[in-house]
Amino acid sequence: MPTIIFSLKDLQNLVGKKVTLNQIEEYCHAAKGDFEGYDKENDEVKIDFGDTNVPYLWSVEGFALFLKSYLGIKKGKHVLKVNPSKYKILVDSSVSKIRPYVAGFVAKGNKIDDYLIKQMVQLQEKVCESFGRKRRKIAIGVYSYDKITWPIHYKATDPESVKFVPLEFRREMTQQEILEELPKGKEYAYILEGMKKYPILIDDKAEVLSFPPIINSNFTGKVEVGDEHLFIEATGTDLEAIQQAMNIFAFALQERGFNINSVDVVYPNKTEKSPRLFNESVRVNIKQAESVLGIKLSETEVKKSLEKVGYDYKEGKAFIPDYRRDIMHQVDIIEDIAIGYGYMNITPLPLTNYTHGVPLTNIQLIDNTRDIVSGLGYQEVFSPILSSKKLMYELMELKDPGTVEIEKYMSEHYSVVRSWLIPILLDVLSKNKHVEYPQKIFEHGIVTDKKAGEVDDFDKIAVVSAHHKADYTEIRQVFDSIIRSFGLNLNINEIEHKSFIEGRVAEATLKGKRVAIFGEINPKVLQNFGIEVPVCALEINLNVLL
């Protein structure tokens, strides 16, 4: 969980009000954080934030924004003032399949001291490591604006063709040398594994800014005490997440007195403004809020509660802060109403009935199955129930047979309800190629099937094994071990399935219903995922067995 450290005096200056340690401890809970203590000698407050959906809080500036709203110092939505400008980042098509997206802005007008540099680095690291999935989804760079010749160019180059001096080093190195020799290069090299070209950011005089997502240059990428103007950028694989990260940084620097200037990101087929103000609103269902919270709410109380957590409210609509992208459902709004209203102001009701729970029969059988697979040496993983058509079908060499889609999804990565589990596990393998083999993982979870307009949920368990000798026999043995515990005799038949190797895939049926599919994954599918070792996989529909 992200833990931030900052000066108490600095927080009070940003909030514009003296805040005591007892108050900080109380307000932390409203922000889903835990007060970890105060070092009086160094004037350092330490807070641990457990909610990874609100990364704007992972800085003293973001926490100050929250407190300004919560304490009524600033009512409603904080506004980012963006000055239009002519700065441009020109994106070459060569990065489209490597690291396709970039965003950025220019911040001017305030001298930087050592403390501010440390705070920026802290926010940068927290966002990249947690929200940015260890730089795979998002990597952020901070630069000295005065050393840059505009426009900036974002492209992919041969690993040996570009040389520059990496941050805090003295000699020029190629991108390949950086990956092989530098600590940061070795740590994050897996992100670029298998790529023939690497992304690079350069200015109009061919001066290197950075080698994302690995390291900045020691010239433009070295921010020093006394600098007054900054350029901030983010690259990655999720455009909306990158834009949110830039909004978070822009709001933080605006709180420090910087003027925020826009940058046009020019792609081959479109131009994006950065920072991007999402300007999103959600209609509030007050009756649903009353039902969920168990209290009566007037519209005035809803308005006041939402304003305390940074929203604007008008004519039944809540206007979401531009540094947040975690509002996906009415329940998210209701939770924020509860935070603004104050959980301490909701009177708990006494228990009227006493009951004790017992496990359902199907849950016991599911848990037994998980225990069997764990006992065979497989490690359990947990993934979101939402996924994408690309992962479910395109990468698996299949056509979409009909999927439950999210109507107003926030990210393409979470645009459909998953329909099977094997693609999820292959995605996990693709992100762990830097880990030693064999890799053996499994997952139990709910999947949703849509046929002829009918939608059904099923309990499934999927198992994959990845190593140089993974084959049909290995995964058949796993299947037999599971089925043996149910005491059933199933029919096993060879089938054709494009996700698997022909002649090396089978299905198990019971009374004409498919129970399971297992076999060796098609090399084309492995290539789609960038997996370089054989993989065998199994997926069982537990509902048919229960």
pLDDT for the residue numbered 410: 76
Distances (CA, A) of 167 to 209, 215, 217, 239: 10, 7, 5, 26
Distance (Å, whole) CA 496 – CA 515: 16
Mean pLDDT score, 52-56: 86
E strands, 80-228, in order: 82-91, 101-108, 138-144, 152-157, 163-164, 173-174, 198-202, 208-211, 215-216
Instruction: State which amino acid sits at residue 324.
Output: R
Task: Indicate the pLDDT class of residue 51, thresholds 50, 70 and 90.
Answer: low
CA angle at 426 for the pair 434 and 199, rounded to the nearest 5°? 50
pLDDT in tens, 422-480: 999 999 999 998 889 999 999 999 999 887 678 889 999 999 999 999 999 999 999 99
DSSP reduced 3-state for 413: helix
Mean pLDDT score, 211-238: 96
CA 245 centroid distance within chain: 11
pLDDT for the residue numbered 357: 85
Give 505's strand partners: 519
Q: What is the 3-state secondary structure (H, E, C) of 2-46?
A: CEEEEEHHHHHHHHCCCCCHHHHHHHHHHCCEEEEEEECCCCEEE
**Token pair recorded at residue 247:** 């909004």
Cis peptide leading into 2, omega within 30 of 0?
A: no
Residue 69 clears pLDDT 80, i.e. is over it: yes
Distances (CA, A) of 64 to 13, 32, 362: 9, 14, 48
DSSP reduced 3-state for 307: helix
pLDDT in tens, 519-535: 999 999 999 999 999 99
Q: Do domains 281-342 and 361-545 have the same CATH topology?
A: no
In this structure, are residues 439 and 544 in contact, taking their beta carbons and an 8 Å threshold?
A: no
DSSP reduced 3-state for 304: helix
pLDDT in tens, 345-404: 998 888 888 888 888 878 888 899 999 999 999 999 999 999 999 999 999 999 988 888
Tell me the CATH architecture of domain 82-274.
Answer: 3-Layer(bba) Sandwich (3.50)
Distance (Å, whole) CA 420 – CA 485: 23
Indicate the helix (H) or strand (E) that contains 65.
helix 60-70
Residue 181 clears pLDDT 70, i.e. is over it: yes
E strands, 237-274, in order: 259-266, 271-274
Q: Which residue in the block uniquely carries the two structure tokens 């200056």?
A: 13
Give 499's strand partners: none
The alpha carbon torsion through 516, 522, 525, 531 (nearest 10 deg) reads 100
Q: Which one is the CATH code of 361-545: 3.20.20.370, 3.30.930.10, 3.30.565.10, 3.30.830.10?
A: 3.30.930.10
Sheet containing 500-510: order of strands: 379-380, 439-451, 454-466, 535-541, 513-521, 500-510, 491-494
Mean pLDDT score, 515-519: 95
pLDDT in tens, 289-341: 999 999 999 999 999 999 999 999 999 999 999 999 989 899 999 999 999 99
Within 10 A of 510 (CB to CB), how many other CB atoms are there?
17
Distance (Å, whole) CA 299 – CA 318: 12
pLDDT in tens, 116-136: 999 999 999 999 998 999 999
Distance (Å, whole) CA 208 – CA 216: 8
Query: What CATH topology corresponds to 3-70?
Result: Phenylalanyl-tRNA Synthetase; Chain B, domain 1 (3.30.56)
Please choose, from the candidates 312, 333, 330, the residue with its C-alpha nearest in 3D space to the C-alpha of residue 322: 312
In this structure, are residues 228 and 111 in contact, taking their beta carbons and an 8 Å threshold?
A: yes
pLDDT for the residue numbered 450: 83
Least confident of 53-57, 68-72, 252-256, 524-528: 53-57
Would you give the DSSP letter of residue 351?
P
Provide the residue ranges of all domains of the chain, joining segments of one domain with +: 3-70, 82-274, 281-342, 361-545
Q: Report the phi/psi class of residue 136: left, alpha or beta, with left for phi > 0 and alpha for psi in -120 to 50.
A: alpha
pLDDT for the residue numbered 165: 97
> What is the overall mean pLDDT for the chain?
94
Within 10 A of 509 (CB to CB), how many other CB atoms are there?
15
Q: What are phi and psi of 385, to 5 degrees?
A: -75, -20
pLDDT for the residue numbered 364: 84
Mean pLDDT score, 59-82: 96
In this structure, are residues 536 and 465 in contact, taking their beta carbons and an 8 Å threshold?
A: yes
Query: Which top CATH class is 281-342?
Result: alpha beta
Please report how many Cα atoms fall inside a 13 Å half-sphere around the Cα of residue 116, on the Cβ side: 21
CA 98 centroid distance within chain: 18
Q: Which residues, 6+ apart, have CB-to-CB distance to 151 below 8 Å? A: 87, 88, 89, 90, 203, 204
Residue 90 clears pLDDT 90, i.e. is over it: yes
Percent over 70 (pLDDT), the chain: 99
Please choose, from the candidates 384, 386, 297, the residue with its C-alpha nearest in 3D space to the C-alpha of residue 334: 297
Would you give the DSSP letter of residue 400?
-
Mean pLDDT score, 500-508: 95
